[in-house]
A and B are shown apart, each in its own frame.
Chain A
């Protein structure tokens, strides 16, 4: 089956893509560029760099802009998926949804309206196991935004590894932080992994941090040989 992956460049959509690639052909990635940083549906930090990630994975990318107005952005998502269906003859969509019934139900409805299959290979996964699996599978993931107490500035740009997973597990117990960031506590960006033909090297970056909230913006990045 030819599938399109809803792609944010974060760990969940990249890992869902990797799981789907084991069974089907990934014909395209679909990235929604939201102008609204508080978007309920689409995460925003470094979303422009999905272009570089798609190039690294050698998969065509469809980028679609939305103003990010709640519910209206769903029409933009539908238009983007529709475009993918027309351009790449996809028969289904893959998402990185883990827990959010808000996101999952809305994407299921769009797929139903467009007569497409909808696959959520990470659905209801145990958050800590899922992070551990991701790292062990060889994905290099960095944290690009934090939005909850007690995240300090040092988390911005930090790679997710065994040590940081342990700390996230601790924060889960002490501060009820979802260890996979499903509650929007943090955002991620994938720079390398087994499905990347080239890896991303980050050059200049900009860090903004204040009061447990911050963003790591990648200003310069390039593809390098692995």
Chain B
């Protein structure tokens, strides 16, 4: 089972930032369950986190930064050995857990992302952005994609964190994550 964590503080936003991810997961015949970040400390949620094969931390609306207030409840991420994908707000949560600082970085709409490669020339693709903030590179992470504004994707072991929204025009990225 793939566990999607809803970081939105308004349930109307869940339709926009969580449901599209759920549809992508289910479209490749994978199971998806959603838990809200306010319920993370419930016994049932802890069990779901432990039994999930992968976890996706979904994004939030541009004005929704409530998730930044108590990121300590995500400290279990450090002990989780299975694949985690953080999208936008999810990337910020992962960064904060690993000691990164929040920085102002506004992007709205399509941008060009460059994927880093040490041998070949960096490859480019278009992606949809919607955020006011980003993070500094957390210790132990490697930057794997960037654009003219800054960091767009980072990685550490099985943890991936991306700044843009792959559910818009880059669903393949989520499908690839589901193969990990």
Partner of A117, one of B10, B109, B110, B128: B10
B51 interfacial by beta-carbon distance below 8 Å:
no
Contact A109 B63, CB 8 Å, known A19-B12, A119-B13, A120-B16: no
Complex-state Cα separation, A106 to B64, whole angstroms: 18
Determine if A118 and B62 form an interchain contact, defined as CB atoms under 8 angstroms apart: yes
> Within 8 Å CB of A126, what residues of B?
23
A124 in contact with B108 (CB, 8 Å): no
B6 contacts partner chain A, Cβ-Cβ < 8 Å: no
- Helix, strand, loop or mixed for chain B's interface? mixed
The yes or no answer to A24 lying at the interface (CB within 8 A) is yes
> In the assembly, what is the distance between CA of A115 and CA of B109, in Å?
17
Task: State in angstroms the CA–CA spacing of A94 and B10 once bound together.
Answer: 13
Interface band, chain B: 20 to 34
Q: How many residues of A contact B (CB 8 A)?
A: 25
Which B residues are CB-close (under 8 A) to A123?
A: 15-16, 20
A23 touches B169 (CB 8 A): no
Known contacts A109-B108, A109-B109; decide if A23 and B62 are in contact (CB<8 Å): no
Cβ contact within 8 Å between A124 and B168: yes
Query: Which residues of chain B (56-83) have a CB below 8 Å from chain A?
Result: 61-64
Residues in A whose Cβ lies below 8 Å from that of B168: 101, 124
Query: For the complex, what is the distance from the CA of A115 to the CA of B167, rounded to whole Å?
Result: 25
Distance to closest chain B CB from A93 (angstroms): 11
Nearest residue in B to A108 (C-beta to C-beta)?
Answer: B108
Residues of A within 8 Å of B12, CB to CB, are 19-20, 23-24, 94, 119, 121
Closest to B63 in A: A117
Cα distance, A125 to B18, chains bound together (Å) = 11
Residues of B within 8 A of A125 (CB): 19-20, 23
Complex partner residue of B108 from A1, A20, A112, CB under 8 angstroms = A112
- At the interface, yes or no: A224 with Cβ under 8 Å from chain B? no
CA distance A118 to B61 in the complex (A): 7
| A124 and B23 contact, Cβ closer than 8 Å, known pairs A19-B12, A111-B62 | yes
Chain A contacts for B64, CB-based, 8 A: 117
Measured CA separation A115–B63 after assembly (Å)? 8
**Known A-B contacts A23-B12, A118-B61, A121-B15; A105 and B110 likewise in contact (beta carbons under 8 Å):** yes
A109–B129 Cα gap in the complex (Å)?
Answer: 12
| A contact residues vs B (CB 8 Å cutoff) | 1, 19-20, 23-24, 94, 101, 105-106, 108-109, 111-112, 115-126
Question: Would you mind naming 28 contact pairs between A and B with Cβ atoms under 8 Å apart?
Answer: A1-B10, A19-B12, A19-B15, A20-B12, A23-B10, A23-B11, A23-B12, A94-B12, A101-B109, A101-B110, A105-B108, A105-B110, A108-B62, A112-B63, A112-B106, A112-B108, A112-B132, A115-B63, A116-B63, A117-B64, A118-B62, A119-B13, A119-B61, A121-B12, A124-B19, A124-B20, A124-B167, A125-B23
Nearest 10 pairs of A and B residues by beta carbon: A105-B109, A124-B20, A121-B15, A123-B16, A23-B12, A120-B16, A108-B108, A119-B12, A117-B63, A109-B108
Given A124-B16, A125-B23, 8 new contacts (CB under 8 A): A101-B110, A101-B169, A108-B130, A109-B109, A112-B63, A117-B63, A118-B62, A119-B12
